[in-house]
Amino acid sequence: MAASIEEQSPIEESTYKSISAQFLEMVPIRRIKWQTHSVEGSQLGPDVQRKVLEATVQSPICQRYPPALSYRRAFMKKFIHILEEFDIEIHDDVYEAYTDLLQQEEEEDDTLCYKTYTLPCGKTISLQESVSMISCGTTGLTTWQAAQHLAEWVLQNNHLFQNRQVLELGSGLGLTGIAVCMKCTVQTYTFSDCHPNVLYLLAQNIQHNLNHAKSKSLSPEHSTHDAKVIRTIKRHLSFNKEIMSLDDENVLLELSESVQSLSDGDSDLFDDDVIKMLSSFDLSEKYWDLNSSRQIGLFKQNPSIRLAKFDWEAEDMEFSANLADNADIIIAADVVYDKTIVPALVSVLRNLLILGSKKKTNSVCAYVASTIRNEDTRDLFLTTLSSADLTYELLETSTEEIFHYDRSVPIEILKITMATTSRARDY
C-alpha cells in the first residue's frame, strides 16, 4: 500500500538535493528545512529513507569530505525523530547508519571537519574548517556569512570579473575565491591572509578544489608531513575549543587574544618543527612555487592562481606594489569586525587602489562584504574611508540564495574607489 502511494506521489528530487546541500554545509540541525510540511507520512517509506541516507551520511561527498562526526550523529538523531513523529516504520538501514556513527571514535574532539558548498551548476566546494568560530587566535578558520554572501553576489555578477586580475584580502578558508576561480574566467586570482594556520588550510583547500588532476580516492590525499601538520592544528584546536556566538565583539577580541597566547605556554601540545614551518609560510613543493621573497606561492596546476602571506598591520609598500601589479579588482569579506584593524585595512585599500590605478588602464575598485554586527564599527569604517579620500557605494545584494547561512543578520556589499580629486594627486 505504502509503495503504491510513493509511486503516485513521489518526493521531488529537489527535496533530496536541498537536504543534502544543508547537511554538507553543516547547517545547524535546528535550522534545517526538511520540507516535512509538504510530505505525507505514507511517503516516508523504505525507499525514501534510503534516498535520504544516500544524499547525506552515505553520499560519496560525505565519505570523501566528512562533516563533523558530532554533526552527523545529531543529523541522524533528528531524522529518526522525524520518522517517529510520522509514526513510520524505520528501516534497518537507518538504524545501522546511526549505530555506525555512534561506534566511531572522535578524533581530537572533532575539531576539524569538512563543509561542502554546492553551486547552482552542481559543482561542489569542500573546505576543511574548524567547528569553532574562534580558533588559535583567529576568526579565519571557519567560513562566515559574509563570505557566502559575497560568493553569491560574485556568481550573479560574474561578468564583472571576466578577464580581470583579482586580489582577495583576508581570504580565510577560500570559499569566495575558489568559487570565483571555478565560475569566472579571471586573468589571475591572488588569495591572501596572514595567520599561519589559516594559510596552511587555505592552501590545502585550494589544492583539493582547484587541482584538475585530483585523485578520485575516497578521502583527500595527505602526505605524512601534511598529516603531522593537521594533527598539530587539531591538538591546538582541541585544547582551545570554544563554541560561542558573536553577540559581543569585545568577547571575540578577548578570546582571540587569550587563545593566541597559549602557543607560548603549552609547548607540549605542539610540534616545534610544524610551528616553525607554519610561521615561515612553507608551502608544499608538490603544488606550489614560492617566489624569491617567499611571500607568494604560484599554484603549479594553474599559475594564474597565487597565494600570498599579507599582514595589513605590517604593510611593506614594495610588497603591496607587487600585489597591486596583479590586481584591478580587490575583494574582501568579513574583514570589518574589529575597530582596531580598521585604520590598517583602510590604509591597505587606499595604497592598493592608488598603486593599481597608476599601472592599469581599467579603473581599479574594491568590493567589501560585511556583516553588520556593530553599528559603531561599521560607522568607523565608513568615516575612515572618507578621510582617506575613498568613496563608497552600497550595492544591491544577490537575489539568488545559493548557500544556507543565517540571513537574519544584515550583510552589505560596498564598492570602494579612489575619489576623483585624490586620483589627480601624486602618491
**The C-alpha cell of 43 is what?**
511517503
Name the nearest CA neighbour of 136 among 259, 241, 32.
259
pLDDT at 140: 45
Lowest mean pLDDT among 137-141, 179-183, 200-204: 137-141
Average of per-residue pLDDT across 339-357: 94
Provide the pLDDT for residue 111. 75
Mean pLDDT of all residues in 163-188: 96
Amino acid symbol at 65: Y
The pLDDT value given to residue 358: 80
Mean pLDDT of 260-269: 45
Q: What is the pLDDT of residues 251-260, one digit of tens each?
A: 444 434 443 4
Residue 265 binned pLDDT confidence (cut-offs 50, 70, 90): very low
pLDDT band at 168 (very low <50, low <70, confident <90, very high): very high
Neighbours of 268 (CB within 10 A): 7
Residue 272 vs residue 56, higher pLDDT: 56
How large is the average pLDDT for residues 217-232? 59
**Radius of gyration, CA atoms only, the chain:** 23
Higher pLDDT, 111 or 276: 111
Q: Please give the share of the chain, as a percent, with pLDDT higher than 90.
A: 60
pLDDT of 135 > 80? The answer is: no
Alpha helix segments (H runs only) across 119-159: 145-156
pTM, full prediction = 0.84
Residue-level pLDDT at 107: 64
pLDDT for 106 equals 72
281 sits in the region (left: phi over 0; alpha: psi -120 to 50; else beta) called left
Average pLDDT, the chain: 82
Q: For residues 147-185, b (16+ Cβ closer than 10 Å) or e, as one string?
A: bbbbbbbbbbeeeebeebbbbbbbbbbbbbbbbbbebbe
Label each residue of 44-67 as H, E or C. Answer: CCHHHHHHHHHHCCCCHHHHHCCC
State mean pLDDT over 368-391: 96
3 state DSSP class of 81? helix
Average pLDDT over residues 106-128: 86
Q: Which residue has the higher pLDDT, 287 or 136?
A: 287
- What does the alpha-carbon distance between residue 196 and residue 203 come to, in Å, rounded to a whole number? 11
Contact between 412 and 394 under an 8 Å Cβ cutoff? The reply is yes
What are the φ and ψ backbone dihedral angles of 114, each rounded to 5 degrees? -115, 140
pLDDT value for 427 = 46
* Domains of the chain listed by start with CATH number: 2-106 (no CATH), 115-423 (3.40.50.150)
Looking at residue 112, its pLDDT comes to 84
Distance CA 364, CA 360 (A): 7
Rounded average pLDDT over 83-101: 94
Average pLDDT estimate for 225-245: 54
